[in-house]
Amino acid sequence: MIHIELDIEKIDQISKIKESENIRFRSFLKGKDDDELDIIVHGLYDEIINQIDCTECGNCCITFRTSLTDKEIDTLSKIDNVSRDVFIEKYTEEDDFEKEKYLKDIPCRVSIRLSTG
């Protein structure tokens, strides 16, 4: 199991310390095959997703398009007290290429709820 740093302040500190390393890595990635990188990234995602509880901070939802699993759609539709179909119609959009559902809004409504307590 990969250790994942979840403390947002520590992540910020680490990113500043490793800024030049991160720039070199991003430059390195630019020359790589997109399909191969997608396979690697999706594999890492599958490995780490169960270690992250999005309700603890919600910071990803502030700047990124948030993808949704079927289970997350069910949970969010219950929180909003609407049917699954209504939730999908009102709050999500589907990526034509990846066939994944994403929340329409950035920041997502979940992160707004978390930040307002």
Residue-wise pLDDT tens digits, 50-105: 887 766 766 766 777 778 889 989 988 898 899 999 999 998 988 877 778 888 87
| 109 and 82 both lie in a single domain | yes
pTM: 0.51
Domain that holds residue 112: 56-117
| 67 and 117 both lie in a single domain | yes
| 117 and 62 both lie in a single domain | yes
Give SS3 for 102: strand
Assigned domain for 2 exists:
no
Domain count, the chain: 2
> CA 34, 36, 41, 42 torsion: positive or negative?
positive
| 117 and 60 both lie in a single domain | yes
Give SS3 for 76: helix
| 60 and 99 both lie in a single domain | yes
